[in-house]
Chains A and B, each alone.
Chain A
Amino acid sequence: MEDKLVIRGIEFRSRLWIGTGKYRDFEETARAVEASGADVVTVAVRRVNITDRKSENLLDFLDPKKYKILPNTAGCYTVEDALRYSRLAREAGVSDMIKLEVIGDEKTLFPDTIGLLKATEILAKEGFMVFPYTNDDPIMARRLEDAGAAAVMPLGAPIGSGLGLRNPYNIRIILEAAKVPVIVDAGVGTASDANIAMELGCDAVLINTAIAGARDPIGMAEAMKHAVIAGRLAYRAGRIAKKLYATASSPLEGML
């Protein structure tokens, strides 16, 4: 019974996607990614340090042949910047995938969805596979899908907040309507949060801070791996309805 995530013909080994920020060093990043079983790792695009060329390269630790490198536009606050970073990322990388972020506000890091929609439209026309980081807004999810997004990535809660899925009902409405995969991006705090996202029927979850910021990132990476697998299996198996009163699970027949 194959249950692989496939997006536009690309097959993914895992439904857990990993961010590579905030780790102690590249070695820890690589060990956490390995423990998570993820094959998608998202990376940021930044200036090369031209005065200190001895610094190590992340891709020496995460082999692009083994992992799918998903560049992001983290830190971009305008459509122009997001487009510029996306085009550079495509040239630096090996694929057309871009995790598109157009940030609206420094304090909340909520997406500027108007800018996001514009940038999605332009990049989709340029042949990018756009993965937009958006709000848990079903209407915006539909608009992004119509604009050519390859998937939608609604937040569960603010980036790095660890608050979990604050509005699972909206995520359910997004899931009901979406014809593209839905990947929860941001807000996961611990394994149960990732599990809930998957039990709702999300296609994947992207996690960074909850793993990198855990006391033991490698241990948490493994916990997330199991949470995502269990959540997906439970979704496919179909949960029972919630009821207010008890239903006996042992037969009454044969009692003394």
Chain B
Amino acid sequence: MRLTVNGEAYCTEKDTVRELLGEMDIVPERVAVEVNLKVIKRSEYAGYQLREGDSIEVVYFVGGGKQGNPK
């Protein structure tokens, strides 16, 4: 299945958010996930079915205070 993860093309056999995170070696407790602009609750990762073409964002906290990163 072809997905877009954080803006990059990504091919996988995994079909839930939880399995996808596992494949990418990402600890679920440290991130937030959005599928097609919808935030997915952590408790729903295991049951959330991914579909061909889904656009996924995986974000976490980084150092940043007030620099307001230019666009």
Contacts and interface: CB of A to CB of B under 8 A. Distances in A.
Contacts of B42: 91
A59 to B, nearest CB: 6
A53 B41 contact: no
A59 B66 contact: no
B69 A87 contact: no
A94 B63 CA distance: 17
Contact of A48 (B6, B70, B71): B6
Given A92-B32, A109-B68, A59 B8 contact: no
Interface string B24-37: 11100011111001
Interface residues of A, number: 48
A50 B64 contact: no
Contacts of A185: 66
Contacts of B6: 47-48, 50
A71 B57 CA distance: 17
Interface in A8-32: 18-23, 26, 29
Interface in A65-84: 69, 71-72, 74-75, 77, 84
Contacts of B33: 91
B65 A208 contact: yes
Interface of B: 5-8, 10, 24-26, 30-34, 37, 39-42, 57-71
